[in-house]
């Protein structure tokens, strides 16, 4: 275990707390974690059954992660990636293997509180074996300047009888520019559940592509996105689900709320190439529903507070 009690460590934990994390978790000896500021690993701990190997590079950190066969990691793995200076580039490359019968939940907080000219790229290649579980929650905390570009990309292959759950949320601070691209393929009897929740304002630019390939018999997939944009922010959400196996079932669910001069676009793509498969989709874009607002106003809320309540509920 490496622990660095330098100012960087303290500062990043402050940002971590602002993002909603609990800094004391990093002192827990039973819980694995990894803390990275720009291209420096400033804290890490692994535990039995988990191989967690970070390697610093010129612009970031390469991470190898492996959960051994049959090992069910009891507590989430806590990750904190951040860039504390106003400027900088951070590239995180993750290669993860969740072996057959293994189970892991990762909780990542990505913090860029001072970003004026920061680029954060994440490339993940993840292999999930058979009868396994992989859960990944990524929570972003950005400053108010909007000077951040976030480019998370992931390619995930999921074996048979396994489960994949990912949640991406960016609700605090300005988005800046977001270009997310997740592609997942799942095999027989496996499930995928991908959710993205983002709140953009100012001149934020949001681009999301989440694609799921249900190639195994009786596989199940849900791709869900909840986006709220206001001022001059723009969003484009491409949600793609392809079912090519018998009894594969999928659903795409996208809701975008716009206010002011914001623009939103949703492109649900549903492909079915097997007569016994089925994929459905629903997409709704528009201002906040008038009846919702009037209902809350009829209880005494002013219009702006009513809108905030509806939007925050949707993004919860």
Q: Which residues contact 121 (CB under 8 A, 6 or more apart)?
A: 60, 89, 90, 91, 92, 151, 152, 153
The H or E element that residue 8 is part of is helix 7-18
Burial zone of 228 (CB within 10 Å; 0-12 exposed, 13-18 middle, 19+ buried): buried
Q: Is 301 in the site for other proteins (CB under 8 A)?
A: yes
DSSP state of 72: B
Q: Beta partners for 134?
A: 104, 164
Is residue 280 involved in binding other proteins (CB under 8 A)? no
Decide if residue 282 touches other proteins (CB under 8 A).
no
- Return the residues of window 121-150 that contact other proteins according to CB under 8 A: none
Burial class (CB in 10 A: 0-12, 13-18, 19+), 63: buried
The distance of closest approach from Cβ of residue 301 to other proteins in the complex, given in angstroms and rounded to an integer, is: 6
* Subset of residues 32 to 91 that bind other proteins, contact rule: CB under 8 A: none
* Residues contacting other proteins: total by CB under 8 A: 24
Query: By CB under 8 A, is residue 300 in contact with other proteins?
Result: yes
Q: State in angstroms the smallest separation of the CB of 186 from other proteins.
A: 25
The binder of other proteins chosen from 29, 48, 58, 298 (CB under 8 A): 298
Residue 294 gets which letter from DSSP?
H
Query: Which region among 154-162, 229-237, 272-280, 290-298 touches other proteins (by CB under 8 A)?
Result: 290-298
User: What is the H or E stretch that residue 53 is in?
Assistant: strand 50-56
Rule CB under 8 A: which of 224-243 touch other proteins?
A: 226
Six-digit token string for 294? 């009037």
Is residue 313 at the binding interface for other proteins, with CB under 8 A as the rule? Answer: yes
Binding residue for other proteins, selected from 17, 299, 307, 308, defined by CB under 8 A: 299
Taking a C-beta distance cutoff of 8 angstroms, is the pair 18, 111 a contact?
yes
Residue 28 interacts with other proteins (CB under 8 A): yes or no: no
Helix axes 303-315, 290-297, angle to 10 degrees: 120
Stretch that binds other proteins, among 169-177, 179-187, 228-236, 293-301 (CB under 8 A): 293-301
Binding residue for other proteins, selected from 32, 164, 296, 307, defined by CB under 8 A: 296
Beta carbon of residue 304, minimum distance to other proteins (angstroms, whole number): 10
The answer to whether 289 contacts other proteins (rule: CB under 8 A) is: yes
CA distance 80 to 37: 8
Enumerate binding residues for other proteins (CB under 8 A): 226, 255, 289-292, 294-303, 306, 309-310, 312-316
């Amino acid at each position: 275990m490496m622990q660095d009690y330098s100012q960087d460590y303290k500062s990043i934990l402050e940002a971590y707390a602002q993002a909603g994390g609990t800094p004391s978790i990093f002192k827990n000896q039973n819980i694995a974690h990894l803390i990275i500021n720009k291209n420096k690993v400033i804290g890490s701990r692994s535990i039995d059954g988990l191989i967690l190997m970070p390697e610093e590079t010129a612009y970031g950190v390469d991470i190898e992660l492996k959960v051994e066969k049959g090992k069910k990691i009891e507590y989430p793995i806590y990750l904190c990636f951040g860039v504390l200076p106003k400027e900088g580039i951070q590239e995180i490359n993750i290669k993860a293997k969740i072996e057959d019968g293994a189970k892991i939940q990762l909780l990542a907080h990505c913090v860029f509180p001072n970003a004026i000219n920061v680029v954060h790229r994440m490339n993940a290649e993840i292999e999930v074996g058979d009868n396994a579980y992989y859960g990944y929650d990524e929570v972003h905390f950005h400053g108010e300047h909007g000077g951040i570009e976030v480019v998370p990309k992931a390619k995930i292959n999921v074996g048979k009888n396994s489960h994949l759950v990912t949640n991406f949320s960016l609700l605090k601070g300005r988005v800046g520019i977001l270009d997310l691209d997740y592609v997942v393929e799942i095999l027989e009897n496996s499930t995928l559940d991908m959710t993205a929740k983002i709140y953009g304002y100012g001149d934020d630019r949001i681009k999301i592509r989440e694609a799921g390939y249900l190639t195994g018999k009786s596989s199940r997939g849900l791709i869900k996105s909840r986006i709220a944009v206001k001022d001059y922010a723009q969003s484009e959400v491409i949600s793609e689900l392809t079912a090519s196996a018998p009894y594969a079932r999928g659903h795409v669910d996208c809701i975008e709320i716009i206010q002011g001069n914001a623009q939103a676009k949703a492109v649900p793509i549903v492909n079915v190439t097997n007569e016994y498969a089925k994929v459905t989709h629903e997409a709704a874009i528009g201002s906040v529903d008038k009846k919702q607002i009037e209902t809350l106003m009829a209880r005494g809320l002013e219009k702006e507070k009513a809108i905030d309540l509806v939007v925050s509920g949707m993004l919860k």
